[in-house]
Amino acid sequence: MVLLIECLDYLCDTRDTVVLVGDLNLPNIDWFLLDSPADNIHSVFLEFCTEFGLYQFVDSATRENHILQGGPN
């Protein structure tokens, strides 16, 4: 995660609009409450997202009952 955050930090150092797309498989982030486990993966990524103003757009199931975010479904 450290390498990913370093790369994203470099790419986000711009005045341009940034869109991060992908399934990063971080199911323990609650995007509604902006909360996550205090670990070196989930909390690091959530802190990065909040620092750069990134947020989760997907708020409904994307495949069967699966959703690309934490929180209530």
DSSP result, the chain: -HHHHHHHHHHT-SSS-----S----TT-BTTTTB--SSSSHHHHHHHHHHHT------S-SBTTB-SS-S--
Whether 43 is in a domain gets the answer: yes
What is this structure's pTM? Answer: 0.76
Q: Is the pLDDT of residue 26 over 80?
A: yes
**Domain total for the chain?**
1
Mean predicted confidence (pLDDT) in 38-47: 95
Whether 65 is in a domain gets the answer: yes
Q: Confidence class of residue 22 from pLDDT cuts 50, 70 and 90?
A: confident
Whether 16 is in a domain gets the answer: no
Domain that holds residue 60: 1-9+28-73
Handedness of CA 44, 45, 51, 55 (dihedral sign): negative
Whether 23 is in a domain gets the answer: no
